[in-house]
Amino acid sequence: MELELEVLKPLDIDTLTYSYDSKIKCPRCDSVGKYVQKVDDKNKVLSHIGSIPMYAKKYVCKKCTYEWI
């Protein structure tokens, strides 16, 4: 019973750490942050809402112009 309660216990904020590796990084030049942008991939239509298409997303590096999913 105590093990089940331990699993349901909320996380302590002090034990949470932010990892630099969790940011989106360019596979070619390793740029992060403001140099990596999420844009619509106009080649991949996921669905339509009425007459408005919903596009897939891709990442674009502003430094080396590399694009990836």
Query: What CA–CA distance (Å, rounded) separates 27 from 25?
Result: 6
Would you say residue 9 lies in a domain?
Answer: no
Identify whether 12 is part of a domain: no
Give a yes or no: residue 27 inside a domain: no
- Whether 53 is in a domain gets the answer yes
In a domain, 52, yes or no: yes
- Interior CA angle at 55 toward 50 and 57, to 5°? 150
pLDDT digit string (tens) for 13-69?
555 555 555 688 999 998 998 999 999 999 999 999 999 999 999 999 999 999 998
Domain count, the chain: 1
pLDDT in the model for residue 62: 95
β pairing state of 67-68 and 36-49: unpaired
- Which residue segment(s) compose the domain that 47 sits in? 36-69
pTM above 0.75, yes or no: no
